[in-house]
Structure 1
Amino acid sequence: MHNFFGHEYDPFPFLPYSLYHFFMIFVLIIGSVLIFYFRDFLRKHDKTARIIMFVSLFLFEALYHIWLYKDGYWDISFTLPLQLCSLSLILCLLLLFTQSKLIFQIVFFIGISGAFMAILTPELFLGFPHFRYFQFFITHILIIWTCLYFLFIHQLAPTRRGVLYSFLFLNLSAICAYIANKITNGNYMFLASKPTNGSLLDYFGPFPFYIFALEVSALIMFFLLFLICDKVLMKLIQK
């Protein structure tokens, strides 16, 4: 149990694209398919399903901060909710509680794109069976599942205006992250430097050019998500 909650990397190193990494990608895909397949059942038990997702997201995020704090590792330079997925997690909690259409439009694009990239190229140093391994993947998967839940069960449709709202929110968040980086010497939203683990940012050039490439990539991903939903998923849902 001590090792499960420990802070030593050597006993449980995370290996990208290992069996345990692909397993979580598999869980993401299978869970997404099941949400779609059982959408009628989930619609009948909507309140219960939303409570379960809300509690799960909140609990795993709270445990993460407790885990850091209890051993003196909590630090303002990286624990503020200014990473894209941290912001998405908060928006997901608000969405599950309020069922706001505006929040859905924002979190659908930034949540799915950000969490999906985090799952594919995780900034993670502790692997299976460490607590951080489960916490990282479960929270990111739940962000995507929450977005898909409101797409499949509540039939909220992403819109072109939602793309613009999301892009505006992304840039406003980046301004806040930039200011926080200057104050805390942090690297929120990877605006100060690239992730130490390999990521797509490695192909976007040196600092600061990769930031502009990231902006363009985000906008492209948002539009691709919109097109996939508009041309494919919404038609499947309505059948």
Structure 2
Amino acid sequence: MEFEAYHAAHWAALAVAAAVLFIIVGQRERLRRPGANRAARRSLAALLAGSEAALQISYAVGGGWDVYALPFELCSITLWLSAVLLLTGNRRLYEVSFFLGTLGATQALLTPNLSATFPEFGYFHFFIAHIAIVAANVYMTVVERLRPTFSSVLRALAWLHALAIPAAIANLAFGTNFMYLARKPNTASLLDLLGPWPWYLLQLEVVAFLLCLALLGLVRLADRLAGSNEAYGRLKPNE
């Protein structure tokens, strides 16, 4: 049996994602306590690293290596960025991880490019990793009160283009489709609304910018509704 979007297995994973985010937001004051904060951040970072380690072990146990184990997928990169962010609280790292990680993982959760279904390993790895990426960045926003800015949108998009370079080289070398630069995914996705290759890559420039602005606007709207005490305000240089 293959995974089917918006059937029981998918809805169950989305329900878990919603529950995790609800807990982070609802328990933010408790999570700000030093002991709880330290434990939560380390545990979430360990979950991210562990999910990637489990993937690599699965390839080894399976008796073969897959080129897609290379860290050129956007979510693979932001998984490690999110883990380091949790451990360091680096504010410049946050602005990249927040936009690229949140948007990339959310898109993956809503339109999974996945064949494995419950209760296969691939199902659990996919959803645990992507839920954890979103959770990590929401945690640093809601609990640690880091905030994105308009300038951080531009820097995040600059990093997206930089990360696309090795992915494109790998695609040429191995015939892969890292970051969907070579072709659209076989499963339904946002890219289905755009033109054919390579024109959808140009259209994605606009889409990515607008989605980043929408995410920035969502954070600012949430701050207005909750009151300005939730935010530090502008990103500051690393201390």
- Normalization by structure 2: what TM-score? 0.91
1:6-85 equivalences in 2 (<5 Å): 12-44=1-33, 45-76=36-67, 78-85=68-75
Matched residue, 1:221: 211
**Which deviations, in whole Å up to 9, do the C-alpha atoms of 1:71-115 show, x marking residues without a partner?**
234222x22111111111010011012110001111100111100
Alignment of 1:1-239 (within 5 A): 12-44=1-33, 45-76=36-67, 78-233=68-223, 235-236=225-226, 238=229
CA RMSD of aligned residues (A): 1.3
C-alpha contact 1:128 1:134 (8 A) present in aligned 2: yes
User: What is the aligned-residue identity percentage?
Assistant: 35
Separation in 2, partners of 1:13, 1:107: 31
Shift of 1:69: 2.4
**Using the alignment, how far apart are the partners of 1:233 and 1:30 within structure 2?**
21
Counterpart residue identity of residue 118, structure 2? F
- The residue type equivalent to 2:178 in the other structure is Y
Match of 1:9 in 2: none
Measured at CA, do residues 85 and 204 of structure 1 come closer, stay the same or move farther in structure 2, by a change above 3 Å? same
- Amino acid of the structure 2 residue aligned with 1:56: L
Displacement, 1:133?
Answer: 0.5
Please give the secondary structure, in 2, of the residue aligned with 1:29.
helix
TM-score, scaled relative to structure 1: 0.91
- Mapped contact 2:48–2:80 kept (Cα < 8 A): no
Are 1:158 and 1:230, in contact at CA under 8 Å, matched by a contact in 2?
no
CA distance in 2: counterparts of 1:188 and 1:71, whole angstroms = 22
The answer to whether the Cα contact below 8 Å between 1:57 and 1:142 also exists between their aligned partners in 2 is yes
Is the 8 Å Cα contact of residues 108 and 147 (structure 1) preserved in structure 2? yes
Query: Once the 2 structures are TM-superposed, how far is the Cα of residue 13 of structure 1 from its aligned partner?
Result: 1.4
Letter in 1 for 2:102: I
Task: Compare 114-123 and 211-220 and name the one that shifted more.
Answer: 211-220
Q: Does the CA-based 8 Å contact 1:116-1:144 persist in structure 2?
A: yes
Structure 1: gaps spanning 5 or more residues: 1-11
**CA–CA separation in structure 1 for the residues paired with 2:49 and 2:158:** 26
Residue deviations 1:202-238 (CA, integer Å, cap 9, x gap): 1111110111112211111100000110122465273
SS in 1 for 2:32: helix
